[in-house]
Amino acid sequence: MDHMDERIKKEILKHTEDSIDQLKDEIWSHLDQELFQEKSRKRIKMRKKSKVIPFIITAAAAVMILFTTQTDTGMAFIKQIKDIFVPEKEIIQSIEGTEEPTDVVLQEGKDAEYVIYIDEERYKLIKGEDSDIITTKEPLEERYPEVSMTIEQFKNITPEDIVASKETELASEYSKVTATESVSDPVEGFKLHAIDGGTEWDSPVTNVYVIDNKNGGSFVITEKYFLEAAEGHGARFYAMLQEFKIVE
Amino acid sequence: MHEDILKEIKKGNRDAFRHLYDEYAGYALRTAKAITRNDELAKDAVQEAFIRVYRNISSYDSTLSFGAWFYRILVNECNRLLSKEKKVVPIDTSLMEGNPQLTEPSEEGVTDLYGIIQHLADLYRIPLLLKYIKGFSEKEIADILNLNQNTVKSRLFNGRNLLRDQLSLMEMEGK
């Protein structure tokens, strides 16, 4: 450490030393009251994964046979997927208490390893190098927090390992992280939920779904929206996610 | 942080948590005071960071050092309180990277090195504060701020140069 470094360090420490002991005592007193006066404390416990097998569509062997016979194999495979899943359909989603019929369109994800039906009136799928993002068709004004649903696959990381690292990540970024749970709806897998703040209309909310890809890896779906949009974008993401299928 | 202490905290052991508090609170407060430039906000940030650490200790993944995890929570909390206080949308200062004039506009009343540090843009100020208060390495600062290590290296280098230039200028002007 040279002279300049020593000088910087000394100056910062000198200007931050006032009332440290007093503040430490005040904070401890508050922590002690809040954390240890309660008889029980909330602990995040990840429930054991359900034994119900995740809903995976196994494309018929015939598709694979056809797949190998095509000259443009990638396109052929996508075509086969489109043959299996109807290209468009109507779903009923519950938006703010009202049943709303919505037309959704089939989209295949990166390398055709999953399919999902998108509400293309409101959202668009942007395919990326490592992940795909579903976001609003029209960009939101700057005052709104991010609204998106990211789908990515980690081919060599198990769902349990992903959950462990996501729990750490969320705990460092959001003020409230609820217990990880196993879910069967909108997808079969683990669900992590976190919110920052939580009392204001624009408090950022995230839901992370971790799904076994049945091949030693995981799909991770990260929804981001804000508190006031929970029954709007949140509900629409939920409905679209119900149509997410892994293609094996 | 010793594994045994963390295990005890996970069980809800008050003494173990107090041990952690005593080890981390002093520098955490100094860091929060320097980042927020406000004792009350710093107190709230440190308090909330410890609450979040206690409540989410089961989520701690040891692939990240405990110090880096704790300070990531602390720095995020400081930023959250500052944003709430200012009611402004944080600006992505990474877009301004490389601009040599990255000090805040008004430097009136800045008469010492600490004042100059506090007038640097956050993209330089916060890595410098983490380096000089707690002595974090570039790798640890990168983990805390979720940045690439080379980015941190360059920000520390440029921030330090800005400090040196501003200090020389101030000394030449006889402040």
Least confident of A17-31, A61-75, A231-245, B159-173: A61-75
The closest CB to that of A8, out of B60, B89, B113, belongs to: B113
pLDDT higher than 60, residue B87: no
Shared domain check, B71 and B103: no
A31 within a domain of the structure (yes/no) = no
The amino acid that residue A174 corresponds to is: Y
Closest CA to A212 of A157, A168, A149, A151: A157
Distances (CA, A) of A90 to A135, A239, B166: 20, 11, 64
Shared domain check, B72 and B13: yes
A14 within a domain of the structure (yes/no) = no
Q: What b-and-e string marks burial along A169-203, b requiring 16 or more CB atoms within 10 Å of the CB? A: bbbbbbbbbebbeeeeebbbbbbbbbbbbeeeeeb
A81 within a domain of the structure (yes/no) = yes
Shared domain check, B121 and B102: yes
Number of folded domains in chain B? 2
pLDDT digits (tens, 9 = 90+) for A14-41: 999 888 889 999 999 999 988 887 544 4
pLDDT higher than 50, residue A48: no
pLDDT of residue A177: 86
Report the distance separating Cα B148 and Cα B136, nearest Å: 15
Tell me the ipTM for this assembly: 0.84
Sequence-distant (6+) residues with CB within 8 A of A125 are A107, A109, A116, A118, A132, A133, A134
pLDDT digits (tens, 9 = 90+) for B33-61: 999 999 999 999 999 999 989 888 877 87
pLDDT of residue B134: 92
Judging by DSSP bridges, how do beta strands A148-154 and A218-226 pair with one another? antiparallel
pLDDT higher than 70, residue A60: no
pLDDT confidence bin for A171, thresholds 50/70/90: confident
Tokens for A222, please give them. Answer: 């990260």
Number of folded domains in chain A? 1
Shared domain check, B69 and B4: yes
A232 within a domain of the structure (yes/no) = yes
Range of the domain at B36: 1-89
pLDDT higher than 70, residue B100: no
Show which of B37, B66, B89 is a domain's final residue: B89
Report the distance separating Cα A235 and Cα A94, nearest Å: 7
pLDDT confidence bin for B156, thresholds 50/70/90: very high
Chain A environment of B25 (Cβ under 8 Å): 24, 27-28
Report the distance separating Cα A180 and Cα B59, nearest Å: 10
Show which of B89, B106, B123 is a domain's final residue: B89
Closest CA to A248 of A84, A126, A71: A84
The closest CB to that of B59, out of A11, A17, A171, belongs to: A171
Shared domain check, B162 and B104: yes
Q: Do B47 and A44 touch (CB under 8 A)?
A: no
Report the distance separating Cα B61 and Cα A146, nearest Å: 26
pLDDT of residue A97: 67
Helix (H) or strand (E) holding A25: helix A20-36
pLDDT higher than 80, residue A65: no
**Residue in A10, A45, A140, A172 to test binding to B, most B beta-carbons within 10 Å:** A172
Shared domain check, B138 and B59: no
pLDDT of residue A207: 95
pLDDT digits (tens, 9 = 90+) for A77-122: 555 555 566 777 777 777 766 777 788 888 877 776 888 888 888 8
Decide if A206 contacts A83 (C-beta within 8 A). Answer: no
Report the distance separating Cα B134 and Cα B14, nearest Å: 25
CB atoms within 10 A of CB B155: 25
Report the distance separating Cα A106 and Cα A120, nearest Å: 10
pLDDT of residue B109: 53
Q: Give the highest mean pLDDT range of B66-70, B96-100, B107-111.
A: B66-70
A135 within a domain of the structure (yes/no) = yes
CATH code of the domain in which A118 resides: 3.40.1000.10
pLDDT of residue B136: 94
pLDDT of residue A77: 55
pLDDT of residue B55: 83
For residues A182-187, give the mean pLDDT: 89
Shared domain check, B128 and B71: no
CATH code of the domain in which B99 resides: 1.10.10.10
Range of the domain at A71: 56-247
A25 within a domain of the structure (yes/no) = no
Helix (H) or strand (E) holding A31: helix A20-36
Show which of B89, B113, B131 is a domain's final residue: B89
Shared domain check, B19 and B35: yes
CATH code of the domain in which B77 resides: 1.10.1740.10
Chain B environment of A140 (Cβ under 8 Å): none
Distances (CA, A) of A144 to A147, A150, A224, B93: 8, 18, 11, 19
A86 within a domain of the structure (yes/no) = yes
For residues A5-19, give the mean pLDDT: 90
